[in-house]
Amino acid sequence: MSNLLAVRNLKVTDLRNQAEIIHGVSFELKKNSCLGIVGESGSGKSMTAKAMLGLTNPWLRSQGTAELSNEHGVLDLLQQDESTLRAIRGQRICMILQDAMSAFDPLAKIGSQMSETFIENKGICRSEARSMVLAALQMVNMPEPEQVLKKYSHQLSGGMLQRCMVATALAMKPDIIVADEPTTALDSINQRLVVEEFKLLRQETGTALIFISHDLGVVQHLADQVLVMRSGERVEYGEARSTFKNPQHEYTKYLIDSRLEMSKSFQKAMKRGAASA
């Protein structure tokens, strides 16, 4: 299958002090597949995604190529002007930001912000947009969606805002969804639900997914390929299954071990129950 997105040797430099933040990261994203990016905070996971979409601060310079292909041809995202990028970000690549609290406008109600996205990018009217918003919110199991529409961002919890953002991206059905820690603020039921929604969307529309997370369990569940990053560098890149089973790099091993240590008690308690039942 052909690559939907091919990022080659992506470098990000801080122009203020000439420091290189991302040191030449390369990866590919095939149609209808999921790439998981894991690593600790400050490893450059989010920066990589943002640089690709032209969402970095003005003092950062991105170099390399990020080729987005479709039936009409190939487009290097890093060479596009702002208005083209804006259209691409709205319709072909959706990004779910990590910090849900600051991603919404505090002065507008959630309902109008979500419908604004649909009106702008899908060219539909206000009432159509409203029913689309309601359907989207129901998809992510939002309690009392009618009430949520009327609220401002500070009246909702982080987890609820995150679900609003996920709902918006899912309803847009873009070519690629870039999800930056979309499930960290959610409890296990809603986490499972959002993850299943991503899976379903992928099956139905072939949307490819770049899933940035430090939760190895979720990444293992979703991703076909995995990219492990540390301090702006690609530490390991390969098939998710083999990477988790047989990590090549010390750092990957360390991440896996700390995760296993934390889930040990839980697994043990559940296994004990399974044995006695």
Partner 1 sequence: MPNLIEIKNIGKSYLKAGRNFRDTKVKVLKGVTFTIEEGLCVGLIGESGSGKSTLTRLILGLEKPDKGNGAILIKGLPVRQWIKANQGKMSVVFQDYTSSINPQYTVRETLEEPMRAMGHKGNLDGKIDVLLDKVSLSLDLKDRYAHELSGGQVQRVCIARAISTNPKFIVLDEAISSLDVSVQTQVLNLLHKLRLDMKMTYLFVAHDLQAVAHLCNKIVFLYRGEVVEEVMSWDLANAQNEYAKSLLASVIPFEV
Q: Which residues bind partner 1 (CB under 8 A)?
A: 40-42, 143, 147, 150-152, 155, 157-160, 184-193, 195, 214-218, 220-221, 244-245, 254-256, 258-274, 276-277
Minimum CB separation of residue 36 from partner 1 in Å reads: 12
Q: What is the largest CA-CA distance in the chain?
A: 63
Nearer to partner 1, 115 or 243 (CB): 243
**Strands of the sheet with 93-96, listed across from one edge:** 93-96, 176-180, 208-212, 34-38, 225-230, 233-239
CA-based nearest residue to 9, from 62, 47, 65? 65
Helix or strand (DSSP H, E) at 75:
strand 73-76
Minimum CB separation of residue 246 from partner 1 in Å reads: 9
Residue 95: Cβ within 10 Å count: 22
Nearer to partner 1, 86 or 271 (CB): 271
Nearer to partner 1, 7 or 164 (CB): 164
Nearer to partner 1, 122 or 214 (CB): 214
Strands 225-230 and 208-212: unpaired
Structure tokens at 107: 């002065």
CA-based nearest residue to 212, from 227, 201, 198? 227
Minimum CB separation of residue 153 from partner 1 in Å reads: 12
Nearer to partner 1, 17 or 83 (CB): 17
Nearer to partner 1, 90 or 158 (CB): 158
Task: Find where tokens 């044995």 sit.
Answer: 275
Minimum CB separation of residue 155 from partner 1 in Å reads: 6
Task: Find where tokens 């208005």 sit.
Answer: 83
